[in-house]
Every structure is written in C-alpha cells, then in structure tokens.
Amino acid sequence: CALPIYGTFDVILHFAETYGGVREDGGGVGSRKFDVYVEGAKRLSGYDVFAKAGGAMRAVQETLRVTVSDGVLNLFFARGTAGDPIVSAVEVVPVAAGARIAAGEPAEDWQVRLYPNPVTDKLSVGLPFAASGVRATAVTDAAGTVHLTNAHRVTGEDQLQLPVGTLPRGFFLLRLDTDRGSRVVKFAKQ
C-alpha cells in the first residue's frame, strides 16, 4: 500500500481475527503471525491478532507514528511464521503542523512516461522537460527497500534510462527528484 502524503502521521492499523478461531475447527493463538513494515522499517514483528485481541471477532488497533519525507507512505504486510497477514482498516491521521495528505495534483502538474511497463531490462523515462533537471533517482520495492540509487543515465534531451534487469519480478516505485519537484511512479518488473 502506498499513499501520497508528507509530514508526521499516526498510522492506526485496525485488526480483527475474522477467520482463524471463529469456529472450533482451528485457529487461535499462534495460527496467524505476520510482520508490518512502515516506510521500510519493521514496526510489528510476529503480530498475532488473536492473541492481542484476546480471541476471534474482537477488534484491536495499533498506532504507529511515522514521518514521511519522500511523499509516499509505504505500508507492507509480510507473511510471518504462520498464516497470511490480515488488516481490517488503516487510518492515517496528521500529527504535525504542515502534514498533509495529497489531494489532487500538485501545483505544478507534470507527467512522467515509463516504457516499456512492464519492463525486463532497461526502463525508459520520458520527461516533459530537459533531463538535466533530474537531480536524483531511486528505485524501491513495496517494503521500502532501496534497490537502485542514481543509476539513471541521460539518453536524450528529455529521456532517462535505468538498468533494472537485476531486479526481481514484482512492483517497484521510481522516485524522481527534479528542479520542478518530486514524482513517484510505479512500474512492474517481469
């Protein structure tokens, strides 16, 4: 899950075990344990909804404070030692003055074109301005792990190219920091 926001927030995760342990045929403490990553850092480890809530069909929530400076709040629910992750709702509440959840387009609208997408080897990036205006690039996965930093090369007046052939299959975020602001765009690696 990636949300376009800036600033300091309380991320309130709502959980309820709505499957395991609901009937007498299984489930219970230890039947579902998973990890929660926020901005690439593991914030909940081996989280057991049934144990925390005191049983099935009972609500429990966890509040995690996070500061987002790159414009995208990244949440990742990873399979742990048992069962699949489960979440019932996610709330994002601004804490600091100036924190904001992006609504609509930024003041200066510009679009980035990625091709091919999905990509296997080299990702081309088309810009609506000179490529010399790009100050930095970074490619991250859904967990926030950085895979490439400033690996781009200018291939035309308004074109960049990134070598993504070594990335595993999956979805990635490309962050572009430019003279005109920052953009984060998603691409798929085959």
Query: How do residues 152-190 score in pLDDT, each as one tens digit?
Result: 999 999 999 999 999 998 888 898 988 888 788 888 899
Question: How many percent of the chain have pLDDT more than 90?
Answer: 37
Residue 22, both tokens: 């609901």
Tens of pLDDT, residues 80-131: 888 888 888 988 888 755 555 554 444 456 788 999 988 999 999 999 999 9
**Full set of structural domains in the chain with CATH:** 2-101 (2.60.120.430), 113-189 (2.60.40.1220)
Is the dihedral angle over the CA atoms 125, 131, 133, 135 positive or is it negative?
Answer: positive
CB neighbour list of residue 46: distance below 8 Å, 6 or more residues apart: 33, 34, 35, 80, 81
